[in-house]
Amino acid sequence: MATVIDSAYLGDGFGTPAMRALFSDTARLAAWLQAEVALARAQAGLGLIPAAAADAIARAARPEALDMAAMKADYDISGVAIVPLVKHLGALLDADSRRWLHYGATTQDIVDTGCVLQMRDALVLIDNQLDALCRALALLARQHRDTVMAGRSFQQLAVPVTFGYKAAVWLDEMLRHRDRLAALRPRLLVGQLGGAVGTLATMGAVALPVRAAMMRELGLGEAVITWHVARDRWAELVQWQALVGATLGKIAGEIVLLMRSEVGELREGAMPGRGGSSTMPQKRNPVACPQVMALARRLRDLPGLQLDAMMQEHERGAGAMPMEWLVIPEGFVLLSGALSQLGRVLDGLEVDAARMIANLTQGGGLIMAESVMMGLAPVMGRGMAKTAVEQAARAAMAKGMSLQDALLADPVLKPHLDAATLERLLDPACYTGSAAAMVDAVLAQAARAGLAGAGD
């Protein structure tokens, strides 16, 4: 049975069509052929096989020239991915060239190298999506640098922040994910050539030069030693995908919380027919954010599987390679889907600044209690100020008063609070601390990466 990400009906919601295409059978076959051609050219360049054979292999190695149905039938019998490829590609070659196809290599060399080639293309798509998301976050941070809203702690009103500050926290995290990818990429994009158990005994004295030439041909890095059973590179990739997914899921979850009827500070962009309930006419549901949250949770599961694939026995393991065929494509497809869905949300996000202000005044301005306490601390001492303001806040809640009225009614506090001072201490815009400066610092980081967003 096909999975959701393979579904023609639902699949595009869980992964972009471009990324799904990169991990299709056709793309996988093309990557394997590319690896076989690079191997033959490297060997011919060092005199290990005839140049004419390498040329013939390169001419024949076209996905459209191979019968995928017949290859699948052979794979169902052999159970070894590259055996049908060698058989059917060999059938397109003359007898002299056929004997040099796949010379000295093993299945895992071609499968691993082909997968790395797919990863390289996939990372280009991911790079573009990451950059677009960072630009969208930078734009929100800049536009709402001074849009005051309630900061929340333990899901309760705490002290004021700005929406720009919230967006900048998200942006800062995404910028670190970009840095992690830049550090990961050279470790990940390394090809494989080792032969049966990694020693390249089949190629004699020219084995290592052949390996180096093959990787130059492909534009991949060369490992110093065969990594058939050293899968840490791929495990690092999957861990990174899960990290990014967790950030995306957090952002989506925050937007969902702020869309609640009782809060109403953010909304996914509206369009006719989107977000409605099948039964409740008044509903405007989050649509993309719940999918991002689901994708993030699934991405979180994949590193454990890839860590299992690291634990291989001897020089060629059993069972790990098929597991990676499941994990690696799924990780890329799901991450592309999460980035795409959240990107659209951020591009069309509706920010209700008026509702943010209204929520700040909820409870008669109690959210400003800390501001008053810190304003009184220099003259009363922090401990005494906290006790007094806490008593006033409790009185306000018990009697249904505003914090301002409760403070003015307190005989201990009243001598220290003239009208101008109290007005300033109760103004949320005057108590966002260094939020604006930190937003500016994050935007400066984004600008240095060329990701400051529109409006520079």
Query: Is-catalytic flag, 434?
Result: no
Gap between the Cα atoms of 382 and 32, Å rounded:
69
Tell whether 287 and 412 lie within a shared domain.
no
Tell whether 314 and 375 lie within a shared domain.
no
DSSP-derived pairing of the beta strands 148-153 and 156-162: antiparallel
Note whether residue 451 is domain-resident. Answer: no
- Exactly one of 277, 382, 424, 434 is catalytic; which is it? 277
Domain end marker among 328, 357, 386: 357
Q: What is the mean pLDDT of residues 168-188?
A: 98
pLDDT at 1 over 80: no
Tell whether 332 and 373 lie within a shared domain.
no
| The token pair that represents 109 in the structure block | 């060399």
Tell whether 336 and 387 lie within a shared domain.
no
Band the pLDDT of 283: cuts 50, 70, 90: low
Tell whether 274 and 406 lie within a shared domain.
no
Q: How many domains does the chain have?
A: 2
Note whether residue 431 is domain-resident. Answer: no
| The token pair that represents 256 in the structure block | 């969902």
**In terms of C-beta density within 10 A (0-12 exposed, 13-18 middle, 19 or more buried), how is residue 256 classed?**
middle
HSE toward the beta carbon, residue 425, CA cutoff 13 A: 22
pLDDT at 207 over 70: yes
Domain end marker among 337, 357, 377: 357
Report the CATH number at residue 420.
1.10.40.30
Note whether residue 453 is domain-resident. Answer: no
Note whether residue 61 is domain-resident. Answer: yes
Domain end marker among 357, 382, 410: 357
Tell whether 307 and 374 lie within a shared domain.
no
Query: Is-catalytic flag, 261?
Result: no
Band the pLDDT of 456: cuts 50, 70, 90: very low
Averaged pLDDT of the chain: 92
Q: What is the mean pLDDT of residues 360-370?
A: 88
pLDDT at 274: 60
Tell whether 124 and 148 lie within a shared domain.
yes
Tell whether 399 and 255 lie within a shared domain.
no
Note whether residue 197 is domain-resident. Answer: yes
pLDDT at 62: 96
pLDDT at 275: 55
- Exactly one of 135, 178, 316, 336 is catalytic; which is it? 316
Torsion angles phi and psi, residue 156, rounded to 5:
-120, 155
Note whether residue 239 is domain-resident. Answer: yes
Domain with 407, as residue range(s), is 366-425
Tell whether 246 and 306 lie within a shared domain.
yes
Total residues found in the chain within this entry:
456
Note whether residue 316 is domain-resident. Answer: yes
Tell whether 230 and 176 lie within a shared domain.
yes
Per-residue pLDDT reduced to its tens digit, 285-343: 888 999 999 999 999 999 999 999 999 999 888 878 889 999 999 999 999 999 999 99
Looking at the chain, the whole-number percentage of residues with pLDDT higher than 90 is 78
Per-residue pLDDT reduced to its tens digit, 34-65: 999 999 999 999 999 999 999 999 999 999 99
Gap between the Cα atoms of 167 and 139, Å rounded:
9
Gap between the Cα atoms of 184 and 244, Å rounded:
13
Tell whether 313 and 383 lie within a shared domain.
no
Note whether residue 371 is domain-resident. Answer: yes
Q: Are the CB atoms for 37 and 197 separated by under 8 Å? A: no
Report the CATH number at residue 276.
1.20.200.10
Tell whether 235 and 105 lie within a shared domain.
yes
